[in-house]
Amino acid sequence: MILPEIDYKFWLSNWKESIGQLQVFSNVNIAKYISFDGDINACTNEIFDIVSSGKTDKESILRVIDLIYSWGGKSGRFFYASTKGLPVPRDEIANNNTVFSMYLQGVVLAQSGNPATINHFCKINGIGPSYASKHAHFWSLKSASPLIIVDSKIAGSLAYSKIEQLRARYSDKDIIAKFNEKARIEFDENDPSKIEKALFAFHNHYFKNDNSGWKNNTPGQDYAAAQKLAATLFNS
């Protein structure tokens, strides 16, 4: 697994100043469950506060879930809709005790920093690999071994156009270990999420979300690394 040669401190700062200040996502479906007027930074802070409190009652769990989807953007909108005749995934967690218990098991796994958390969340209706990693990441915020978000932007940053291609090559444990190793080099600490955020900001600046082309082909910070990545992404 090869991580791009970029200025990780610069891009981490860029995440906080640009992406973090964006308004959270909402639509008519999610608005039935949550109203949140803050930006992504504020949303992150509330999630952190609830996770830090150790609360695992249903109200707290559902609040974190809704905040995660507000944080995550429009790609998670189907979590609040019925598709193919299946129950609305959010309602299923709230109203089906078996599904809620399964979600709680994922929370416990995340709190221990277990990479198996991502696969566990994927077993729940309506939660795919990208959002499974978001649930895993946020519930592991107080873990000594925090987990990371692995979405299309992170896959693209590692020269894979699809998350499935990356995960077919490397296990979640391998990815997290590599990001931890890089975090020790770049930030002298075991916080792989700093590497993830830096890569996200870098990718978000230059590439489309689905890795199909340039979002911004204007030379800027680490443009040479972006060109090198594009040569692989756009020909894969």
| 39: in domain | yes
Please say whether the beta carbons of 13 and 192 come within 8 A. no
Nearest to 90 by CA among 104, 69, 117: 69
User: Is 147 contained in some domain?
Assistant: yes
The pLDDT tens digits for 151-167 are 999 999 999 999 899 98
Residue 118 lies in a domain: yes
Q: For residue 68, which of 56, 57, 79 has the smallest C-alpha distance?
A: 79
- What's the whole-number mean pLDDT along residues 204-213? 93
* pTM listed for this prediction: 0.89
1 falls within a domain: no
Q: Could you tell me the residue range of the domain that residue 60 belongs to?
A: 8-233
The answer to the question of residue 201 being in a domain is yes
Q: Which residues of 20-42 are buried (b: 16+ CB within 10 A; e: fewer)?
A: beeebbbeebbeebbebeebbbb
89-108 pLDDT per residue, tens: 999 999 999 999 999 999 99
- 2 lies in some domain: no
**Tens digit of each residue's pLDDT (9 = 90 or more) over 56-71:** 999 999 999 999 999 9
Q: What is the mean pLDDT of residues 82-92?
A: 89
Query: How confident is the prediction for the chain on average, in pLDDT?
Result: 92
Query: How many domains does the chain fold into?
Result: 1
What pLDDT, in 10s, does the model give residues 176-187? 999 999 999 999
Please determine, for residue 144, whether its predicted confidence score (pLDDT) is greater than 90.
no
Residue 40 forms part of a structural domain = yes
pLDDT band for 236, please (50, 70, 90 cuts): low
Position 178 in a domain:
yes
